[in-house]
Amino acid sequence: MYAACGAVSKADHEKLQTDLQTAEEATKETKEDLKKETKSRKDAEKKAETAEAEIVEIRDAKEKLDAEKKNLAKDAEKKGTELDKVKKQLDKLKADLDAEKSAAEEVRAELAAIKERAEQAEAELQAKKDEAAALAEEAEKIKEQAEEQVAEVMKQEEALEGELKKEELKLGPVWSSGLCKCCAKPGGIGLCLKAFCCPCLLMGRMNASLKLDGSAPCPGGCFGGCCLGCCCQPCYMRSAGSIVASKGGKNESKGKAFLCGCCCPCCYLTQVYRETLILAEGGPGVAPLQQTMGEGGEGGDGAAKAAPTGGGGVTWSTGLCKCCAKPGGFKLCCKATCCPCLITKSLNNYLKEQEKGACCAKCGGCGGCCMGCACLPCFMRKAGPGVASIAGFEKQDTPCKACMKGCCCPSCYLCQVQREYMILTESG
């Protein structure tokens, strides 16, 4: 029994072992199948992941393509508008080119016309050159003829100069005294000193004497000769010398007179003035010279010839250069030179009484003394015409002329006006 049980248990045990072996083999196969399924699943997952990644990439690529497509569409639109602009510009350029072509054709036509005109001008120029050459030949001939004529005229002038020199030798010298005879008579050393120290006095007297027949070099008589002559003594003597010489029947060229006035002004002035004195004394000259050499209406003997006063006169009773004339004499001249304030004082007092005050009418003599000496020409600008109007010849001295006299000959003009005032007070 025990053996049967052991045999049965042994058989069961072997069966169990065989079943166990088959189960183990089945388990191994199952495990292998599971491993294969797991591997295939992992491969499938990997493939799914790669597929999803590819899908994402494809989606991104599609989005990029869409964006690029949109950009390309925009670029295409821009390029289309630009192409339209370029087409318009091309059309404009074509129009401009056509216009330039037409302008170029016109310029070509103008150039052709200019070329034709230039050819014509060249032909005319050549003709003018031929004419100029002919004229030059004629000019040479005329020049030769003119030179021959000039030579003949020069010969004639030389002959005339020789004849003039012979006539001058026959007639004698132009002037009665030599240029260097400064102290000759008439006039003597006093005339020489006047010409050296105060030439304006001599030129004024000479101009006044020549004014009578209208041959004076300067306008204005004595005053004009005194002022304008001193401005340019050679120019004055250029005219005065030839005029005085012609009055003596002689000939003095203006060029020679001008040179003498430049080189020896005092000597030449003395020579010419001495000739006027000789003519005034009765030489072969003009008679009115005798009436004017004393200035201010004096005769040749020096006697004063006073004009009527009190409203009837037409000029000053005494001349501008008669500084020592009466009334007043040499004393008045010294007073006007050394202390003019005394004269301006008396004049301003007189004008204040006549209601023609020169300056500071309220101050009277004091104003004339101070303000008159402060600016004597300004004072005389009113005082001279004021006294002239009281004397009855207000047109003789204008304010401008009085101011000029006050500037150029203040003492002489002050003496003249004061002397007229003295004559008015003595007569009135």
Q: What is the DSSP string of 23-77?
A: HHHHHHHHHHHHHHHHHHHHHHHHHHHHHHHHHHHHHHHHHHHHHHHHHHHHHHH
Most confident of the ranges 79-93, 309-323, 333-347: 79-93
**Would you state the pLDDT for residue 297?**
36
Q: How far apart are alpha carbons 273 and 21 in whole angstroms?
A: 186
Whether 276 contacts 244, CB under 8 Å: yes
Q: For residue 127, which amino acid is it?
A: A
**Would you state the pLDDT for residue 161?**
76
Report, as an integer, the average pLDDT of 31-52. Answer: 86
pLDDT, greater one: 51 or 286 = 51
| 306: DSSP letter | P
**Would you state the pLDDT for residue 383?**
83
The secondary structure element, H or E, covering residue 411 is helix 410-427
Give the position of tokens 């009190």. Answer: 310
**Would you state the pLDDT for residue 104?**
92
Whether 234 contacts 223, CB under 8 Å: no
Report, as an integer, the average pLDDT of 23-33. Answer: 86
Q: How far apart are alpha carbons 335 and 318 in whole angstroms?
A: 17
Give the position of tokens 């007229």. Answer: 420
Q: How far apart are alpha carbons 92 and 64 in whole angstroms?
A: 41
**Would you state the pLDDT for residue 290?**
36
The secondary structure element, H or E, covering residue 274 is helix 265-280
The CA distances from residue 76 to 70, 72, 81, 104, in Å, are 10, 6, 9, 40
**Would you state the pLDDT for residue 95?**
92
Q: How far apart are alpha carbons 121 and 119 in whole angstroms?
A: 5
In which region does residue 142 sit, left (phi positive, over 0), alpha (psi from -120 to 50) or beta (all else)?
alpha
In tens, the pLDDT along 60-81 reads: 888 888 888 889 888 888 888 8
Query: How many Å separate Cα 193 from the centre of its chain?
Result: 46
| Residues, the chain | 428
What is the number of other CB atoms lying within 10 angstroms of the CB of residue 399?
A: 14
Token digits of residue 282: 């009765």
**Would you state the pLDDT for residue 305?**
37
Whether 405 contacts 384, CB under 8 Å: yes
Token digits of residue 346: 């008396």
Mean residue pLDDT of the chain comes to 78
Percent of the chain exceeding pLDDT 90 equals 8
**Would you state the pLDDT for residue 109?**
92
The lowest-confidence range among 11-20, 240-249, 352-361 is 352-361
Question: Phi then psi for 426, rounded to 5 degrees?
Answer: -70, -35
Report, as an integer, the average pLDDT of 87-116. Answer: 91
Token digits of residue 66: 């869409």
The lowest-confidence range among 112-116, 134-138, 162-166, 189-193 is 162-166
Whether 275 contacts 175, CB under 8 Å: yes
**Would you state the pLDDT for residue 293?**
45
Token digits of residue 348: 């301003």
**Would you state the pLDDT for residue 298?**
37
In tens, the pLDDT along 268-326 reads: 888 888 888 888 776 443 333 433 444 333 333 333 333 334 434 457 888 877 777 88
Whether 209 contacts 289, CB under 8 Å: yes
**Would you state the pLDDT for residue 296?**
36
Whether 237 contacts 258, CB under 8 Å: yes
Token digits of residue 201: 């006095």
Three-state DSSP class for 397? coil
